[in-house]
Structure 1
Amino acid sequence: MNRFNKRTAVRIAVVSMLLAAVTSPIAWFVAHKNAEESTVSLAMEESRRLLHLHHFDTMELSGPDAGEHASKAANALAGGLFDIAEIYNQDGEKFAMAMTEEGRAVEAQLPAHARPNYASASFESLKLRDKRWILRVFVPLKEGPGSEPAQIAGYFEGVRVVSAWQREQMFERALSTAMMVGLASLLCGAAIYPVVVHLSADNERKAHEILDSHISMMEALGRAIAKRDSDTGAHNFRVAWIATRIGERFGLQGKSMQSLIVGSFLHDIGKISIPDAILLKPGTLDPKESEIMHTHVTQGEDIVDGIGWLDDAKAVVAAHHEKWDGSGYPRKLSGDAIPLAARIFAVADVFDALCSRRPYKEPMNFEAAMSILEADTGSHFDPGVMACFRPIAREIFDSLAKCSEDDARRMLEERVRFHFGI
């Protein structure tokens, strides 16, 4: 499993566990409340069935036999669904009361309430001082359907002590529901993981294909520049590799390193616009020709500006001829005003030019090349960049001493693939 897959698995697992931790208690609470309300609903419905005047013909809540009828109804309910059953007339006066032993044990702990006067059924759930759990229901008793609208004929109030086995059953059902929800969250995470990994791998593959094509295009442009300048193209590979090594020593990474590599490889892209008579002239350029040659910097800026990934090359393309003391061109920038990538490239470019064989010169040895760079440190070159370059200069020189163009290409490609994540 690669690093991304491990990181993805950990993140999905954490999210799934957090989701389970949040939803399971909610599911437990909802299931518990549903079980409680189901118990209350059953009790209310049964009390209505027994007490509704339309179904309980012998019961009258007014007249001389009202008390006797109410007592019969209370006794019918107490010991079945309820532990305490109370019946009131329409004025809220208690007509009858019946209770079980369990009801007597909890009666004194029940909170007092005002005389009944409500139009709809309700209930309350209470935990008593002795830790018992009770459900208390309030049901208005209405006249039968012959009376429109139905009139309140009385009130029924019942207390049910929830037994230990009922509490355990409700708890187990709620716990089971919570566990199912938690398990579902974890299973969803497990199901999502391969989908995320597959999509990510597909996106990564496509991104690599695009990046690979960009790098191939960068190489093609570099070769076009080299051919235009009567070069083999090895200089672009070598100088970009040297700049990369200095950038690594400097601590560059990510986007900064990628910009350095692309800019170093395409630093002279603006030379495409310079006339052959000037670009390929074997002798020294006159002032007018030099002025035209210097325009390759701004021409290069125009080429890379706004072209997506080529825009990363702009810092080097625009400032690779600037000097630390401000005597360069085209903007005469100095010091830290020159982009760091351009300051790094300047050292790499001159070092490679001094150490390479050209049609008009032989390569310099390491000591001669370094003496020139040291002499120009503080004027042409950034002292900080030179401080990073010195410790690796000999290694770089030895690596490039007998390096062919293909060797230089392979060396650069290895660093490109590392820093571009291919």
Structure 2
Amino acid sequence: MRKASIHRMLVARLLLVFVLLSAVVCAFDYYYELEKVDEHVLRLALEESSHFREDEVRYVRDGDLRRLEAGAREHLMTSAFMIIEFYDANRKPLVEVTKPEAASIEEQFNRLAHQDLLGDAPRYRKLEHQGRLYLRVAAPLAVDGSVAGYFEGIYAVGEAEFARIREQMAFSLLKVVAVVFVTTLALYPVILALNRRVLDYAGVLLEANIGALESLGNAVAKRDSDTSEHNYRVTLQAIALAERLGLDRPTLQELVKGAFLHDVGKIAISDAILLKPGRLTEEEFAVMRTHVAHGVDILSDYQWLKEAVHVVEFHHEKFDGSGYVRGLKGRDIPETARIFCIVDVFDALTSRRPYKEPFSCETALAILREGSGTHFDPDCLEAFLAIAPELHEAQRTMDERTLRTLLRARVRALFG
């Protein structure tokens, strides 16, 4: 994986962590700040009401409703309360005084679920309406340690005070986001260093796997009286054809593994058959066909090479169903095998073998055309015919070392 890709991946993941962590922490902080706001506003309301509650408590105790109402109206005009109510010890309404604009606010409170606020301790309900904050607050009126009655009122928080509260909450949330951002930023170099170590180990493992792939493929080629150049050429040609067809990266990786190990099962074929210079008998050819099953068995225990199985198992199938081992036809043959079948035959035709001279590129392509729709997938073949002359010309003069270097570069780009 390239450094730029690592950075992009880490930035994306850390950004996601930042967003999620900010949302969670801000939710807790918002809840905490709301609790503080409630306590602050309740304290303001109780402090303001305490002055007239002390004056009116004796009128409640004595049942002097005329003075109680007069005192309540006086305090209503000079305080932030919009409604003031007094109840006796049995919670029977005694006096209620309101400001004209209080009706709509009381209606909004009444729409909320009903809750009896009268009790032994101060209680409240909160309402935010049209950019203002209101509290319906209730408190007991005590005389000599006993409850003589109750006070209840609707308190309007001043606009300036409400604005200050909102600014304080916004500032608190901003601080939380800033702290989370700095923390996330501080994690970046740590995670980057850890990822680099993992990638270093992955790079070593990849090199080991590629080395095993190359060594195993070359061992088969040497035993089959062939050269490693065949494996290099067909793999490079398969990559070029797959890219021409627009195959994705995972499929290209599968194709590379399969191309290099397409005949790995020939390790299990005896020399008498594998190296026979003449034509094989039917019995010998039946044995030769078993190299496919042997190849599948060999790869089945190696997790990294399992993806090569499609090419190994199906590259002898033919488009019309006349191939082996399963007699698959058309699109039932895996695409990687249909691709490799073409380049394998092409390289065999254009290469020198102990039993034949190489065909020219033109002759080889003519032979491939004859097999379109019978031996080969017509679409894959058409794509290969467009690039084959250039590929053949480029590789014709390349020695094994050059081919190996070129293929290793392509493989690292695909798997890195």
Task: Write 1 or 2 for the structure with the bigger share of helix.
Answer: 2
Matching residue within 228, 235, 243 for 1:240 = 235
- Over the matched positions of the two proteins, sequence identity in percent amounts to 37
1:192, CA displacement in angstroms?
3.7
> CA, structure 1 residues 268+64, in 2 after alignment: closer, same or farther (shift >3 Å)?
closer
> CA, structure 1 residues 128+310, in 2 after alignment: closer, same or farther (shift >3 Å)?
closer
Residues 67 and 95, structure 1, Cα contact 8 Å, conserved in 2: no
Matched positions, count: 406
Distance 1:38 1:49 in 2: 18
Of the structure 1 ranges 379-388 and 17-26, higher mean CA displacement relative to structure 2 is found in 17-26
> CA, structure 1 residues 79+396, in 2 after alignment: closer, same or farther (shift >3 Å)?
same
* Paired amino acid for 2:137: V
> CA, structure 1 residues 153+307, in 2 after alignment: closer, same or farther (shift >3 Å)?
same
Say yes or no: does 1:347 pair with 2:342.
yes
Corresponding position of 2:281:
286
Distance 2:129 2:394 in 1: 87
Structure 1 SS opposite 2:137? strand
Distance 1:177 1:321 in 2: 70
Corresponding position of 2:271:
276
* Paired amino acid for 1:376: G
- Please give the TM-score of this superposition, normalised by the length of structure 1: 0.80
Distance 1:331 1:83 in 2: 90
Matching residue within 206, 211, 220 for 1:225 = 220
CA deviation map 1:353-376 (0-9, x unaligned): 121122333222222222222223
Say yes or no: does 1:267 pair with 2:262.
yes
Corresponding position of 2:89:
90
Distance 2:313 2:129 in 1: 83
Structure 2 SS opposite 1:2? helix
Residues 71 and 96, structure 1, Cα contact 8 Å, conserved in 2: no
Matching residue within 21, 28, 31 for 2:33 = 31
1:162, CA displacement in angstroms?
2.9
Residues 88 and 155, structure 1, Cα contact 8 Å, conserved in 2: yes
Corresponding position of 1:157:
152
> CA, structure 1 residues 255+134, in 2 after alignment: closer, same or farther (shift >3 Å)?
closer
> CA, structure 1 residues 164+251, in 2 after alignment: closer, same or farther (shift >3 Å)?
closer
Corresponding position of 1:183:
178
> CA, structure 1 residues 78+273, in 2 after alignment: closer, same or farther (shift >3 Å)?
same
Say yes or no: does 1:413 pair with 2:408.
yes
* Paired amino acid for 2:307: D
Of the structure 1 ranges 330-339 and 36-45, higher mean CA displacement relative to structure 2 is found in 36-45
Distance 1:249 1:393 in 2: 11
Structure 1 SS opposite 2:411? helix
Residues 350 and 359, structure 2, Cα contact 8 Å, conserved in 1: yes
Of the structure 1 ranges 135-144 and 301-310, higher mean CA displacement relative to structure 2 is found in 135-144
Of the structure 1 ranges 18-27 and 35-44, higher mean CA displacement relative to structure 2 is found in 18-27
Say yes or no: does 1:373 pair with 2:372.
no
Residues 59 and 70, structure 1, Cα contact 8 Å, conserved in 2: no
Corresponding position of 1:118:
118
Matching residue within 317, 325, 334 for 1:322 = 317
Say yes or no: does 1:9 pair with 2:4.
no
- Please give the TM-score of this superposition, normalised by the length of structure 2: 0.81
CA deviation map 1:134-182 (0-9, x unaligned): 434211235656xxxxx53211335544334423332332222122123
Residues 92 and 117, structure 1, Cα contact 8 Å, conserved in 2: no
* Paired amino acid for 1:220: S
* Paired amino acid for 1:5: H
1:216, CA displacement in angstroms?
0.8
1:271, CA displacement in angstroms?
0.7
* Paired amino acid for 2:311: V
Structure 2 SS opposite 1:360? coil
- 1:27-106, aligned counterparts within 5 Å? 27=29, 31-32=33-34, 34-41=36-43, 43-44=45-46, 62=61, 87-92=86-91
1:51, CA displacement in angstroms?
6.6
Residues 84 and 153, structure 2, Cα contact 8 Å, conserved in 1: yes
Corresponding position of 1:148:
none
Say yes or no: does 1:257 pair with 2:259.
no
1:63, CA displacement in angstroms?
5.4
1:241, CA displacement in angstroms?
1.4
CA deviation map 1:387-418 (0-9, x unaligned): 01111111111122122111221222122122
Residues 277 and 355, structure 2, Cα contact 8 Å, conserved in 1: no
1:266, CA displacement in angstroms?
0.5
Distance 1:323 1:161 in 2: 86
Matching residue within 290, 293, 296 for 1:295 = 290
Residues 220 and 264, structure 2, Cα contact 8 Å, conserved in 1: yes
* Paired amino acid for 1:212: E
Distance 2:365 2:264 in 1: 27
Distance 1:26 1:177 in 2: 11
Note the aligned Cα RMSD (angstroms): 4.0
1:309, CA displacement in angstroms?
1.8
> CA, structure 1 residues 62+285, in 2 after alignment: closer, same or farther (shift >3 Å)?
closer
1:314, CA displacement in angstroms?
0.8
Residues 12 and 193, structure 1, Cα contact 8 Å, conserved in 2: yes
Corresponding position of 1:137:
137
Which ranges of structure 1 fall in alignment gaps of 5 or more residues? 146-150
Residues 52 and 72, structure 2, Cα contact 8 Å, conserved in 1: yes
Residues 330 and 377, structure 2, Cα contact 8 Å, conserved in 1: yes
* Paired amino acid for 2:40: S
Which ranges of structure 2 fall in alignment gaps of 5 or more residues? none
Residues 135 and 161, structure 1, Cα contact 8 Å, conserved in 2: yes
